[in-house]
Structure 1
């Protein structure tokens, strides 16, 4: 009887070791899958941001053209076509979670705005954006490029 009890204890111990090993293996597999999913998501995010950084200069060029005095001399059809293409690019970025930001009149936020110039001779509230030089772009998580702005300074003339 002692021999059977000892053998039973040995078998129970082996069974527990196998069960523990199987559970560790299963947990390792789950963790590896989660790590792979996180890596894939991060890779997709980096690819998206890289693409955005390639598209932003084209949008800047559209904006500079539209802000140029010669823009008014361009035929309406051509101007409409250029604006349509620019809007398509902006909409494509939105569909992929990229927001374009920067608005005249909004309060200055150091995390979102890069002050290129301060002016006190332009109408507006002190500490607000009075001109957008280049729009900013962000995802939900972070700013990809701050908006470059002209800030209304607090000095009075």
Structure 2
């Protein structure tokens, strides 16, 4: 009888041992699953960082390429604008010779002769003056302006001094005679004005900052 009672106790211990083993196996499986998940998460984070770095690199390349394309576009626009404005510079210089010839022809006749001219001579002089005015207007239409600096302060950027004139009545450095008119095209000098400059007079006053700003 005693032996029969021990058997169930032994069976109960086996059952408990089996349940404990199952619990251990389950815990081990969960731990392994967690370790695998952690490893997988680690791989995903690394891949994410790599992709983010690649995206940042591509963005930087795109911004650089966009900036370069914008610079090229601006340079092209400036070149086109310059070509429109200054493309006729060589032709304009040749036309200036015609303007000079007209001016010399008109300058060879004094005011008294012009005032008393009659008949064919008067018609000729009137025609020359009309032609000269038309030529100047045509040049201005294409951005070419005449420089007549008499009475202005000498500016080496747009004037070329040919000689000095002793004249104490005007400030030194004043343009008192224009030998040949100058011309500018756009913001560039097409031909400097050839001038005579006064010397011996008082020094020219420097322009005040306010006047310079207004002139600019």
Q: Which residue of 2 aligns with 1:17?
A: 57
Match of 2:136 among 77, 86, 90: 90
Question: Which residue in the other structure is 1:81 paired with?
Answer: 127
Structure 1 residue runs without a partner (length 5+): none
Cα 1:112–1:19 change in 2 (3 A) is: closer
TM-score after normalising by structure 2: 0.57
- The 3 A distance-change label for structure 1 pair 3 and 30 is same
1:89-146 deviations in whole A, cap 9, x for unaligned? 21222233322112544444444333434455x9x74754444321111245343222
Q: Map 1:8-47 onto structure 2 (within 5 A).
A: 8-47=48-87
Q: Distance in 1 between matches of 2:64 and 2:195?
A: 55
Relative contact order (C-alpha < 8 Å, sep 6+): which is higher?
1
Match of 2:160 in 1: 114
1:35-83 CA-to-partner distances (Å, cap 9, x unmatched) read 2222223333431322321211110011001011388455333332322
Determine which of 101, 108, 123 is the counterpart of 1:68: 108
CA 1:75 to 1:28, structure 2 compared with 1: closer, same or farther past 3 Å?
Answer: same
Report which of the two has the higher share of helix: 2
* Residues 1:138 and 2:178 aligned together: no
Asked whether the equivalents of residues 85 and 186 of structure 2 are also in contact (C-alpha less than 8 Å), the reply is no
Aligned CA-pair RMSD: 3.0
- For residues 182 and 126 of structure 2, the distance between their equivalents in structure 1, rounded to whole angstroms, comes to 23
Aligned partner of residue 13 in structure 1, secondary structure = helix
Higher deviation after alignment, 16-25 or 71-80: 71-80
CA distance in 2, matches of 1:111, 1:8: 63
Q: Closer, same or farther in 2 for the Cα pair 1:107/1:4, shift >3 Å?
A: closer
Corresponding residue pairs, total: 153
C-alpha contact (below 8 Å) 2:86/2:185 kept by paired residues: no
Return 5+ residue gaps in structure 2 as ranges.
1-40, 202-216
Change (3 A) 1:3 1:146: same
